[in-house]
């Protein structure tokens, strides 16, 4: 670990030297790459330098502890400096935890009603609203891609794009089965019903990262359905794309333009197929939609929203919050932060080694 940090410090010096050279600014692509690398390396190297300085100070104090005349003065400072060294060491371990290269990506989210009929569809609408409100608080932009509603205001399935800084890094742990326990409005006996929805979080990938062969695609147009006035009833602007080798189907009908719907459908298809390829290559890694989403059965759940008790429980980290209304209004940071810390701790444990 110390050797790795030393290499990073040397690399930062090289990057800063190149950034100081006038010819670097003649190459916009190189300038952007070096600036990004400098931004990533600087906080780690600065922390490492503070750690080294604190280590030297601690070593000096240890020498003074053997001096009878200086022992008392050194002892009064020793514990504080030692705590600083330990704190910086832990901080460095956290900073060296491998980052998911997809964390900075935009996100394609899909929510589908699972077990529970209309109550599951109403819960899917609640989840969509929850993520929309969370995205608004984060300053992200949400763009609806496809929506299949029920007559009572529920959602059978919805897909949407989330654009914003670290969207995938913040939302990727939302993949899985979400369970709700509440008394439906139509339940005269006051019995609590359990329903589920599945949530999929896919990183948006571009054509460079995952190319689609046009020969593998069948593209159909059809008339949009649902609310939207006369326009959607008169034009075949909706798009259905079928990936023939896998049978994967994506429909997009929210945009008025057929071209926009086609672009959005291809983007969703590309992300689904990319995620599928990653899952096949790394089937043991958590976070893949195939493993996390499951079938929507009641016993396959990552989180439970219990209305009678006013609680939300994330079963992966054992976190329970008694503020269900706040969570459903987009107050998700406490849960998401806990999941991110849990992921970092597991990665740190897997790759830990002494300084």
Separation of alpha carbons 191 and 116, rounded Å: 14
Percent of the chain with pLDDT over 70: 85
**Span 303-319, mean pLDDT?**
96
pLDDT tens digits along 234-272? 456 788 889 888 888 888 876 667 878 888 888 888 888
How far CA 168 is from CA of 103, 108, 203, in Å, comes to 5, 9, 6
Out of 41-50, 144-153, 271-280, least confident range: 271-280
pLDDT tens digits along 194-237? 999 999 998 887 655 567 888 888 988 877 665 444 344 445 67
Computed from CA positions of residues 315, 319, 322, 323, in that sequence, does the dihedral angle turn out positive or negative? negative
Separation of alpha carbons 342 and 324, rounded Å: 22
Contact indicator for 88, 111 with CB cutoff of 8 Å: no
Phi, psi of 284 (to 5 degrees): -85, -10
What is the fold of 2-95? Answer: Methane Monooxygenase Hydroxylase; Chain G, domain 1 (1.20.58)
The tokens of 96 are what? Answer: 């060296």
pLDDT of residue 225: 62
For residue 289, the 8-state DSSP code is H
Separation of alpha carbons 78 and 71, rounded Å: 10
Contact indicator for 109, 145 with CB cutoff of 8 Å: no
Contact indicator for 24, 64 with CB cutoff of 8 Å: no
pLDDT of residue 285: 36
Q: How confident is the model at residue 299 (pLDDT cuts 50, 70, 90)?
A: low
- 107 compared with 223, residue with greater pLDDT: 107
- Do the first three CATH levels of 2-95 and 107-343 match, i.e. the same topology? no
pLDDT of residue 345: 80
H helix or E strand, kind and range, residue 239: strand 238-243
pLDDT tens digits along 170-192? 999 999 999 999 998 767 677 89
pLDDT tens digits along 34-89? 998 998 899 999 999 999 999 999 988 888 888 777 877 778 888 889 999 999 99
**What are the boundaries of each domain within the chain?**
2-95, 107-343
Contact indicator for 261, 253 with CB cutoff of 8 Å: yes
pLDDT of residue 326: 97
Angle at 17 between CA 15 and CA 21, to 5 degrees: 115
Interstrand relation of 107-113 and 217-222 (parallel, antiparallel or unpaired): unpaired
Phi, psi of 196 (to 5 degrees): -135, 160
In the sheet where 248-252 sits, what is the strand order?
A: 217-222, 238-243, 248-252
Angle at 52 between CA 50 and CA 57, to 5 degrees: 95
Contact indicator for 324, 307 with CB cutoff of 8 Å: yes
What CATH number labels 107-343? Answer: 3.30.70.1660
């Amino acid at each position: 670990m110390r050797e790795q940090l030393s290499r990073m410090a040397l690399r930062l010096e090289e990057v800063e030297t190149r950034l100081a050279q006038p010819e670097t600014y003649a190459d916009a692509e190189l300038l952007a790459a070096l600036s990004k690398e400098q931004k990533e390396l600087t906080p780690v190297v600065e922390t490492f330098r503070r750690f080294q300085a604190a280590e030297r100070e601690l070593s000096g104090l240890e020498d003074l502890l053997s001096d009878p005349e200086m022992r008392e003065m050194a002892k009064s400072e020793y514990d504080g400096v030692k705590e600083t060294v330990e704190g910086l060491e832990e901080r460095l371990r956290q900073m060296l935890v491998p980052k998911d290269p997809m964390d900075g990506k935009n996100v394609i989210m899909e929510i589908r009603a699972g077990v529970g009929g209309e109550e599951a569809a109403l819960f899917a609408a609640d989840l969509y609203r929850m993520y929309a409100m969370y995205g608004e608080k984060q300053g992200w932009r949400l763009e609806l891609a496809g929506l299949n509603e029920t007559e009572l205001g529920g959602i059978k399935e919805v897909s949407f794009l989330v654009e914003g800084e670290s969207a995938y890094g913040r939302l990727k742990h939302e993949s899985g089965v979400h369970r709700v326990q509440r008394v439906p409005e139509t339940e005269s006996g006051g019995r609590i019903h359990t329903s589920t929805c599945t949530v999929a979080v896919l990183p948006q990938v571009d054509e460079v990262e995952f190319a689609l062969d046009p020969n593998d695609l069948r593209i159909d147009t059809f008339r949009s359905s649902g609310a939207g006035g006369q326009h959607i009833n008169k034009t075949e602007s909706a798009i259905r794309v079928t990936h023939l080798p896998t049978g994967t189907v994506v429909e997009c009908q929210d945009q008025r333009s057929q071209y926009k719907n086609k672009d959005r459908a291809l983007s969703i298809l590309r992300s689904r197929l990319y995620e599928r390829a990653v899952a096949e290559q790394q089937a043991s890694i958590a976070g893949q939609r195939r493993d996390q989403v499951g079938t929507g059965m009641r016993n396959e759940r990552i989180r439970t929203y219990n209305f009678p008790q006013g609680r939300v429980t994330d079963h992966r980290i054992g976190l329970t919050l008694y503020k269900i209304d706040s969570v459903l209004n987009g107050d998700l940071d406490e849960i998401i932060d806990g999941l991110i810390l849990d992921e970092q701790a597991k990665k740190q444990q897997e790759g830990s080694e002494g300084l």
